[in-house]
Every structure is written in C-alpha cells, then in structure tokens.
Amino acid sequence: MELTVNPVDRLQGRFCVPGDKSISHRAAMLGAIANGPTTIHGFLRAGDCLSTLQCLRALGVTIEETPDGIVVHGSGPRLRAPAAPLDAGNSGTTMRLLAGILAGQPFVADLTGDASLRSRPMDRIIEPLARMGAQVHALGGERFPPLRIAGGKLRGITYTLPVASAQVKSAVLLAGLYAEGDTTVVEHVVTRDHTERMLEGFGCRIQRVGSRITVTPSTLSSRNVTVPGDISSAAFLLAAAAARQGSSITVDDVGINPTRTGFLDVLASMGAGSEIGGRADRSGEPIGTVTVRGLRLQGTRIGGSAASSVIDEIPVLAVIAAVADGETVITDAAELRVKESDRIKTLAVGLRVLGADVTERPDGMVIRGGRLRGGRVEAGGDHRIAMAFAVAGLLAQGPVTVSGAETIDVSFPGFVETLQAVAGSPAVAALGKRSA
Ligand code: S3P
C-alpha cells in the first residue's frame, strides 16, 4: 500500500486507539497456560498478536473470536507438541515470550518468523534459558532464528539483564513458572512491567524489591482481562499534534503505565503541553485520557534510561525533532538497530530524503531541526517507521508518500482512518492492498 499524506495546519479530535500490543500478547499467552477460560476484551486484532494466537492454536490451545475480543481456553501449564514449526511472523514479542513458555514444555518445538524477525538477535534469550536447563539452538546461525527449543526440567536462576529488554525479562519470568525454585531477574533500567502485573492478576506469586523481580513457580488461574488502548499507537497522533501549533488531540481509555509514558516527558521537554485525566484501573493497568496541545517545539536530548523508556516512540520523536527549533541528540538507543528494521538507519535515510539534516551515530542520531520538504520514502517493512513517516507528511511543506505502508497493520489497524479523522480526509490517501 502507498500512503500519501499532505501537510495540515492543525490536528483536532478525540478518539480511542486499538488495544495495547504488549498487553494483548501477554493476556493470550497467560490465558493459554492458565486453568479455565480467559476472556480478553479489546484484544488487539493486528498482525503481531494474531501471530501469537496462531502459535498458541498450533500448541493445542482453543481460542474463540468474539465480537469485542477473544476467549482463550487454557488447560493448564502443559501445552501440546506442535506438528510444524511455529511462525511468529514479524513479532519479536511472540518469539521471545513464547520461547520462555516452551522452555518449560516436555517436547521439542521450532519457532520461526519472517525475514525481519529471522535477522533479530536471540542470544539474549538463549543464554538465560539455557542456564535454566532448556536446550535452545539458533538454527539460523550463531544467534538468529529459527529457534529449536527442547524444553524440560528447569531450575530457578538469578539473572541480570545485559540489555534493557522487557521481552528478555518476560521470557525468563515465564520460564520461571516451570522451574524448580524461585527465579529472579535483576533489571538496572526499568522496562515495561506488563508481564509482572498480569502474572499477579493470574494469581502468580511475584514480587519486586528494588531492581529485583522474583517469581515463584505457580499454576495460573484464568480471569477476565480488558486491554487498554495502546499508548505507543496513540503516540503517533499525539506527537503530530504536539508539533502543530493550535492543535489539540485527546485519546480516551489509553494505557498510562508509567513504564510507557516517557514520551510525554520528552514532548514536555520539547515545549508541548500534555495532561492526563480520568485515571482508572483496568485489569491491573492504569488507564486515562491523554490530551496533547501543539506549541512551537524546541530540540531536546534523549539518552540514558530515558532512551529505553521511549524506544518505540523514537521514530515519531525523530520526525517532530526534524521540524523543531534547534538540535535534538539521541544517544544510548543502539537497541533501535535490532528492531523490525535498523531504525537508526531507516529513519536517517528517510528523513534525509524528506529534507532533514540528520547525522547517524552508532547509538542514536543528531537531528538539526528546520523544515521537511516532503517526498517519497520506504517503510522498510517496519510498522513504526511507516507511521512516523506518515506523520512527517502532516508536518512537511509538501506531500509525503510512504511505500510499503501495509506493514502498519502489524500494530495499528485503522491508523489511516484515525489519521483522516484528525487531519481531515483530503489530507490522507491510501492506494493499494491494505494488509501486510
Ligand atoms: C516489548 C518490548 C520492547 C518493545 C516492543 C514490545 C514487549 O522490546 O520495543 O515493541 O512487549 O515486551 P525489547 O524488549 O526488545 O526492548
């Protein structure tokens, strides 16, 4: 699909975004290994989470689709050996979290994915799962998928995360459910804590003391989960509004877990105004209504632990930095190079095509703000890059055409319609096949 987005003076509107991707994956996986049916309202029906469902079905789990979500019929911690390799598609979360569960199963399973996923490093989960007693082989070379996992008897370990990664933390904690003895993960940089919250909601004994998270092997009890809107999806529209003076956008019923709202702090450091109202609890996750108002933006610095807290939002933050006053320096974000694409490179190349002044660095980039001309860019098979460049179209002097934009369906079905609603439909035109 080619998506063409024209410049607009301001963005206005109030809407909801689809369910949180991270929470949807976790709800389906925990439901699959719990006892009894788990009803998940607002489950994100998008490429990545559908990959999780497909893998769980191949592991013998019955999943019903309902008008507003799914019901996962868990029959306890033991799954069925799959007849064929499990396909995680484009989804790193599916592969890494499922590897944690497979490590505790008494059978051999292969986990594969698309070309992008097969180029992403898996040594970060292979190492701790092997230390727990699983045999995990990277069939795509030293550290790349497909993975062959021969699960079995596991022992609890204490593991200090070498990279700030919620996926690695979650893989180890999920394997910990099957281990003998407690498993502790030490994280020096706080990462999203949805696994911990949801494990607790499913009746698991888990506690955090300082930087140490300890899980005690437990059997999970099914429950109902309502998934909040995905703040990382909302971020594209909120950031666009922040960069257009006079704009105001409100997103209702969106997750405001403090491990996910770092980008609102970055917007504030750039001069945008935001407020959160209507705070409530939804299945153990904080939700609220987020409003962002556009003002003249200044460049900023994003580094240290703040960089990891906005890792999924850096693509759109880089775009608005390109139209802000002054320089933005992003450091400590080397993880961006091993996401769905090498996001440092795809961003730098695309932003330059659009007229930005960008210098790539090994762990980030320097963006000297000014104007974006517009032009034609490639999504590079990366949903967040496609949406970030679509936002560039709203803020440039001329239209931006994003090719390969069907990849947006990996995380944000309905993005084009939401963009049309807040920018005015003439501003946005999609051509060609919609789904990835
Ligand atoms: C995710 C964790 C993050 C994030 C990804 C989703 C998760 O990845 O970038 O979009 O659901 O746990 P890392 O664990 O690689 O940082």
What pLDDT shows up at residue 434? 67
- Residue closest via CA to ligand 1's atom 13 equals 165
433 has a pLDDT exceeding 80 = no
Quick check: 418 pLDDT over 80? yes
Checking if the pLDDT of 355 tops 90, the result is: yes
Q: Is 312 a catalytic residue?
A: yes
Alpha-helix residue ranges (DSSP H) falling in 122-190: 123-132, 166-176
pLDDT value, residue 426: 85
pLDDT of 263: 97
CA of 165 to the centre of ligand 1 (A): 6
| Annotated catalytic residue within 230, 312, 382, 409 | 312
Residue 427 pLDDT more than 90?
no
pLDDT tens per residue across span 358-395: 999 999 999 999 999 999 999 999 999 999 999 999 99
Residue 112 Cα to chain centre, angstroms: 19
Assess whether the C-beta atom of 257 lies below 6 angstroms from ligand 1.
Answer: no
Atom 10, ligand 1: residue with shortest CA distance: 312
Task: State pLDDT tens for residues 321-350.
Answer: 999 999 999 999 999 999 999 999 999 999
Structure confidence at residue 435 as a pLDDT band (50, 70, 90): low
**156-171 as b/e, with b when 16 or more CB fall inside 10 Å?**
bbebebebbbbbbbbb
The domains found in the chain, sorted by start residue, are: 2-19+229-431 (3.65.10.10), 21-215 (3.65.10.10)
- Closest CA relative to residue 177, chosen from 146, 208, 219, 212: 219
Compute, in angstroms, the gap from residue 341 CA to the centroid of ligand 1: 14
pTM given for the model: 0.98
What is the best residue among 124, 165, 336 to mutate for testing ligand 1's pocket, by most ligand atoms within 8 Å of CB?
165
Q: How many angstroms separate the CA atoms of 54 and 36, rounded?
A: 19
Digit-coded pLDDT (tens) for 218-239: 999 999 999 999 999 999 999 9
Q: How far is the CA of 404 from the centre of ligand 1 (A)?
A: 22
Q: Which of 46, 53, 29, 5 is nearest to 410 (CA)?
A: 46
Mean pLDDT of the chain: 97
Q: Does ligand 1 lie within 6 Å of residue 247's CB atom? A: no
312 lines ligand 1 (CB under 6 A): yes
Tell me which residue has its CA closest to atom 4 in ligand 1: 312
pLDDT reported for residue 290 = 98
Could you read off the pLDDT of 62-97 as tens digits, one per residue?
999 999 999 999 999 999 999 999 999 999 999 999
Order of all β-strands in the sheet with 147-150: 86-87, 108-112, 147-150, 135-138
pLDDT number for residue 193: 98
Backbone angles phi and psi of 209, in degrees to 5: -125, 110
**pLDDT (mean) for 100-124:** 98
Tokens standing for 199? 């494990």
Tell whether ligand 1 has an atom less than 6 A from the beta carbon of residue 91: no
Q: What is the mean pLDDT of residues 283-311?
A: 97
Q: pLDDT band at residue 425, thresholds of 50, 70 and 90?
A: confident
Tens digit of each residue's pLDDT (9 = 90 or more) over 40-62 = 999 999 999 999 999 999 999 99
Residue 125: the pLDDT is: 98
Q: Distance from the CA of 334 to the center of ligand 1, in angstroms? A: 14
